[in-house]
Chains A and B, each alone.
Chain A
Amino acid sequence: MLLLDYLWIIPLLPLAGAAANGIFGRRWPKKIVTGVALGSTTLALLSALEVAREFFGPAAARIPWTHSYFTWISAGGFRADFALQMDQLTLVMLLVVTGVGWLIHIYSIGYMADDAGYTRFFSFMNLFMFFMLVLILAANYLLMFVGWEGVGLCSYLLIGFFFLKQSATNAGNKAFWVNRIGDFGFLLGLFLMLRTFGSLDFAAVLPHVSEVAASPAGQAGWLTAIALLLFVGAVGKSAQLPLYVWLPDAMEGPTPVSALIHAATMVTAGVYMVARSHTIFLASPAAMQAVAVVGCVTAFFAATIGLVQTDIKKVLAYSTVSQLGYMFLGCGVGAFGAGIFHLMTHAFFKGLLFLAAGSVIHGMGGEQDMRRMGGLRKKIPWTFWTMLMATLAIAGAPGFSGFFSKDEILAATRDVSVPLWALGVLTAGLTSLYMFRLIFLAFFGTARYDERKTPVHESPRNMLAPLVVLAVLSVCGGWIAAPHLWGGANHFDDFLSPVLAGPSPAADVASAEPEGLLASLLGAPVIAGLLGFSLAWWLYIRRPKEPEKLAQSLSVPYKLLLGKYFVDELYDAVIVRPLVWISGFVLWHIVDEGAIDGTVNGVARAATESGDHLRYINSGNERSYAAWIVLGAVVFTTLLFWAVR
């Protein structure tokens, strides 16, 4: 018996946990709630590991594996099954989601220990795990969409977790509404796909793209439309330009939520979806270009905003947007494997960064502003060292995981477009700058808070253990691709190649000349990272007064960055206010009150008024009644005679 044949168990476990805690948790003591929540995710992780073992062992010949459990929708010629699948790409996602999810569950037990909504929190977290697993295990786009919407729902619920705070509720609503735009695009893409391919199953769509593209009926344009609409969905979910605005606000949620949903897993669903649909994207150069440009510009744009943020979580939020941009850049230049690779390493180091930031906030008693931190290095050493590992990884320090994945993306980019590569390298420098700024501001220098009032303390062990595990992964997670450096095989890309249809041409060129690769490509991002580090060191350690002076001398760009390019204000003026005006004035007062209420009230008024006039026939004068009766009788009799004749 193979567990692979019972794959449905994996998503079902967290669902059972969520249901049990959601329904009965309120009456259970905290220990049972913890046991149910952690137990279900632990079992899910163990099942995922067992599936991975079978994947390389007894079931290797059966990959890619698909199984349809039952027909979910059957209407005319359309059929959608509740079907799960397993292949290399899914396995990577499965291990990342269950692994990182499990670690963050452990961390949350400590972080949320004193929160009144403990049970609700874990119920939502388990529900999120369920939907995320449905998203990645689904064998057709429709089931994927179920997971896609489900994680959006959980994201909304968890962003607005502290629902008594107005800002948290608003942030939740914002995330939900902005995602609607993306999801609408995704849905339209699915409709077009159904029209073009007649099915939404991966197996019925993805291998047949080239046939459709080659068909004489002019279907190639539809492929571009499908790819672009799917990408709109990915842009919403993965917080890319121009729909990234919800993610920074999503930091209103508890920090473990930011780590799990808004850094490691849910926001990368868009990258997964694009990689999964890579044949459609590859058939459309225009869509690929759009993906690459949007990704690269987002990476740069978000990194610049991250430079001036003072809230520790906001810096990480913009950093997430920026790193997601890298992933899309990788996909857009055809290096889907590199994009997924960066997705994985990013899950490790960004998850760690958020958890460590949570540990800092926890230790500081809720303080999130870096201007009121400083000198924490000695007080919370475990948090400091693990966070430093993650920072080195995200900054692309050689040997750390982020180095391999980011450089692979940039190497592939350079073969496609030099301007995008240059912007990507510049972003790598900015990444290093804002991350070391965070480290130096929070952990170095002198304390800028009242040390007597705020007794900084290291977090409990169950919060530190996940940090250490993720730190190890942040350091070592990229070594699988290491042989690529000295001209060997890139094991990660090779592993994914059965799904992602072989290495891209760009990767072929890169591996053909390893020396040139080492010298010219790996050099530039690393040098950019070093420059960023040096600048951060100079600004925040050597001359701590310098940033203020710089902000004054460069006040216009500084204010532009501090105001986040005023994108929120722009959207408010161009979209939100007109929409509010249209719904308030046009739809409410004119359409609803005028047209709809007008019609209903008009009919009622017509009845009242006609009755008002007709009642005068009822004169109360008996002789006039009699006259009417006689008149009626005469008319009737005359008509009768007429008819008889």
Chain B
Amino acid sequence: MPISYFLVLSAVLFGLGVVAFVFKRNIITIFMSIELMLNAVNLAFVAFARAHNQLEGQIFVFFVIVVAAAEAAVGLAIVILIARHRGTLNVERVDTLKH
């Protein structure tokens, strides 16, 4: 299979993630869209690694997964705190920096 298939799929997934990130209001959903974008990038890494017959891309994927796991841990902790303090998961209502 030519690499372009993988890349197109990766781009579509990334685009979906971006759109969801910008337009969704629920923090959890936004979080999931970040994961989606990260994994779209992972797919591109793996595809390039295979096409060029090199290992670095695959290794990089592991790093991304580790970072994503850490990010999920910290991020979910923040989400829980926001939910406790504000009683909502709507990002549009978490805008106290503005005032």
B partners with A: yes
Which residues of B lie under 8 Å from residue A623 when comparing CB positions? Answer: 21-23, 25, 91-92
**B99 contact set on A, CB distance < 8 A:** 620
A610 at the interface (CB under 8 A from B): no
**A379 and B99 alpha carbons, distance in the complex (Å):** 94
Number of A residues, CB within 8 Å of B: 9
A627 touches B98 (CB 8 A): no
A1 beta carbon closer than 8 Å to chain B: no
Q: Are B91 and A622 in contact, with the CB atoms below 8 A?
A: yes
Give Cα A630 to B98, complex, Å.
21
How far apart sit A621 and B94, CA to CA, in the bound complex (Å)? 7
Question: Which residues of chain A come closer than 8 Å to B18, judged between CB atoms?
Answer: 630
Q: Which of B45-99 contact A (CB under 8 A)?
A: 91-92, 94-99
Residues of B within 8 A of A630 (CB): 18, 21-22
Cα(A618)–Cα(B30), bound, Å = 20
Residues on A with C-beta less than 8 A from B97 are 618, 620
**Would A620 and B22 count as touching, CB distance under 8 A?**
no
Distance in Å from the Cβ of A425 to the closest Cβ of chain B? 95
Contacts of B22 in A (CB 8 A): 623, 626-627, 630
A618 and B98 within 8 A (CB)? yes
Q: CA separation between A626 and B20, bound complex, in Å? A: 11
Chain A residue, CB-CB nearest to B96: A620
Asked whether any CB of chain B lies closer than 8 Å to the CB of A619, the reply is: yes
Q: Within the assembled complex, what's the spacing in Å between the Cα atoms of A620 and B93?
A: 10
A621 touches B95 (CB 8 A): yes
Contact status A621-B92, CB under 8 Å? yes
- CB of A626 within 8 A of CB of B21, answer yes
Contact, CB under 8 Å: B95 / A620: yes
Q: Is the CB of A619 within 8 A of B95?
A: yes
Determine the chain B residues whose CB is within 8 A of the CB of A620 once the complex forms: 94-99
In the complex, are the beta carbons of B94 and A622 less than 8 A apart? Answer: yes
State A619–B99 Cα separation when bound (angstroms).
9
A622–B95 Cα distance when bound, in Å, is 8
User: 8 Å CB contacts to B: which residues of A590-645?
Assistant: 618-623, 626-627, 630
Per the bound structure, the CA–CA distance linking A621 and B21 in Å amounts to 13
CA distance A477 to B21 in the complex (A): 110
- In A276-307, the 8 Å CB interface with B consists of none
- What distance in Å separates the Cβ of B13 from its nearest Cβ neighbour in chain A? 15
Q: Report the bound CA distance from A618 to B98 in whole Å.
A: 7
A622 nearest in chain B by CB position: B91
> Which has the most chain A C-beta neighbours within 10 Å: B18, B22, B95, B96?
B22
Least CB distance from A54 to B in Å reads: 92
- Report the minimal beta-carbon distance from B64 to chain A, rounded to whole angstroms: 17
A-side contacts of B95, CB under 8 Å? 619-621
A143 and B20 CA atoms in complex are apart in Å by 87
Residue numbers in A under 8 Å from B91 (CB-CB): 621-623
For B18, the closest partner residue in chain A by CB is: A630
A627 to B19, CA, bound (A): 9
Query: CA of A621 to CA of B97 in the docked complex: distance in angstroms?
Result: 9
In the complex, what distance in Å separates the CA atom of A630 from the CA atom of B21? 10
How far apart are the CA atoms of A621 and B99 in the complex, in Å? 11
Contacts of B30 in A (CB 8 A): 622
Contact code string B1-40 (vs A, CB < 8 Å = 1, else 0): 0000000000000000010011101000010000000000
Q: List 24 A-B contacts (CB under 8 A).
A: A618-B97, A618-B98, A619-B95, A619-B98, A620-B94, A620-B97, A621-B91, A621-B92, A621-B95, A621-B98, A622-B30, A622-B91, A622-B94, A623-B21, A623-B22, A623-B23, A623-B25, A623-B91, A623-B92, A626-B21, A626-B22, A627-B22, A630-B21, A630-B22
* Known pairs A620-B97, A623-B92 / 8 extra A-B pairs, C-beta < 8 Å: A618-B97, A620-B99, A621-B91, A621-B98, A622-B30, A622-B91, A626-B22, A627-B22
